[in-house]
Structure 1
Amino acid sequence: MSKRVLVIVGHPSTDSFCAALADNYVETAIGAGQDVRVLYLGDLCFDPVLHEGYNRIQPLEPDLLKAQVDITWAEHLVLVFPVWWGGVPALLKGFFDRILLPGFAFSYRKGKAFPEKLLLGRSAYLLVTMDTPPWYYKWVYRMPALHQMRKTTLAFCGIKPVATLTFGPILDSTAKQRDNWLGQARKLAIK
């Protein structure tokens, strides 16, 4: 049975190592018979700023409306992004700020502390690049971007993160290291 997979590339450049990871994942997943869609956030046209918070919902641009359709369609998400300044890129944060809206991703419940999760039944992988050694990011910085994505973004909406791969440091990495990392992404694509 084919799995419906949405790959979201949160790096603004299509010639980044994140894009290479995503491309390798996509090629392998398609080869394994999965139904795959890809969103390169850098190619979408939308305002990433949530100007009024949730006090007044901004009308969604066509690319964001399509992204919501793709998320609804998907059984599994693959988020590919770099860690910048310890967190996710502004483009990825703005994307989620704009599309993970009340009524789509979650629903407030009167008298309840936590909202209803509206994206239940979906799983996710995170493929994350960084220039910090991953062990240092984990033990010294305590992985703020990964906690944000796994717990306070995905799980908050009902999406279950099941695997995270961290790659780094990207800066000064060798071709052999990058090939190894691309191989890890391909292995994950056939799970």
Structure 2
Amino acid sequence: MPPVQSIQAATAERGLVMVITGNGKGKTTSAFGQALRAVGQGWKVCIIQFMKGRKYGEILAAEKYLPDLTIIQSGLDSFVMRDHPAPIDVDLAREGMEKAREVVKSEEYHMVILDEINVAVDFNLIPEEEVLDLIRNKPPKLNLILTGRYASARIKERADMVSEITEVKHHYHSGIKGRAGIEY
């Protein structure tokens, strides 16, 4: 196992803001891959998942094998109605945003991933301005990753890197249901 580095040593340069968006499968998976890479380098990583409440395989693996990867879920294991979100969905998203502010300010982590934050903004669960404010005021050394479909133009503009995952073909369209180890 590599030696644990201080945040200052691990991120000697300015921390990056990265956005992973688009309509294709793999945005969360990509972010978790980035987290795994960072943990492998001795970094502490915190992932806050918006609009998710299921014990996905990555959460089970982190709990079992990756003590430097903290995952906080702020949502239910159900779909959120875009035009009519339930009050609980709004409350949980706002609680998640408050937790994100606390985690970012703590300077305890080298990397913070806000999974599905772009969807939470697009669904009006969280004001876009709050996310932009978080980006503007993050500690200089912190690496921040924002995932989810529908990343706004303003969020993309503030990012150092934007990747858009595009669906070419998806097994759902041929009737194949979600599977453990693939979708969760």
TM-score with structure 2 length normalisation? Answer: 0.43
Q: Which structure carries more relative contact order (alpha carbon 8 Å, separation 6+)? A: 2
- TM-score (norm. length: structure 1): 0.42
